[in-house]
Amino acid sequence: MKSGFKVILLAMITVFMMSGSGIAGETVKFILRADPASFMISPDVDGFYIQGPGIRDEIDGSTAWTPSIDAGIGFNVGDSVLLDATLGVGWYYGGEALESSFVTQRLSARFKLGKTMTLGAQAGLIQFDNLDWKGDYAGSNVQFSSSDGYLAGLSFTAGSERVSFSLSVEYVSLDDFDVTTTGGWTPSSNSLDLSGALVNMGVLLRF
């Protein structure tokens, strides 16, 4: 079911971004969003550890800093609806133990609430390709597989149509990372699930 959803969503994003100015004859807008104040809460991460002879390296906590930047295109549909499609890249800083880059693709539809605010929904795809163990021990003796999944949630902006504060709250569903170790190290689990909640706060430019 998850795979089917991802295929459908990817097709929708691709069609949207290739359609140019053909949607309802509206002018194409360029989108740029920077979210430096962002974090991801992954409950399964807390307590995950790598253990060796007399040594145990454990993750304490479930929150990671996830700054990101997105760019794409958008359209004004009539006087009340804004449609955006973006591609993004971000970085996952999971305390002192986990680090990875990630990429996203999103579609969003927001409704204008007066002249200064918008509220709507967004959904997309997310992929991690190079999750690394950055704990005090083990290092290169721990490897993670890649993982991808989908995200969906609510998006809010406040400001002008060109420059605004942006806030989004999304649920992220990811395939488990397979965990393999060498050199006598043992993980607490052979898989790691980063699924959870993603909160993004930053600035949205639309011009």
Distance between CA atoms of 129 and 139, rounded to whole angstroms?
A: 17
Give Dmax over CA atoms of the chain in angstroms: 67
Q: Which two tokens stand for residue 61?
A: 């906590």
Pick from 47, 35, 9: which is nearest to 165 by CA?
Answer: 35
The residue with greater pLDDT, 77 or 11, is 77
Q: Is the pLDDT of residue 8 over 50?
A: yes
- pTM summary value: 0.86
Domain 2-206 falls in which CATH fold? Porin (2.40.160)
Distance between CA atoms of 50 and 181, rounded to whole angstroms?
A: 9
Q: Is the pLDDT of residue 106 over 60?
A: yes
Terminal CA-CA length for the chain: 37
Helix (H, G, I), strand (E, B) or coil at 53: coil
Domain borders along the chain are: 2-206
Please report, as a single letter, which amino acid is at residue 45. V
Distance between CA atoms of 84 and 105, rounded to whole angstroms?
A: 11
Burial class (CB in 10 A: 0-12, 13-18, 19+), 155: buried
For residue range 148-197, what is the model confidence (pLDDT) as tens digits?
999 999 999 999 888 999 999 999 999 999 999 988 899 999 999 999 99
Q: Is the pLDDT of residue 21 over 50?
A: no
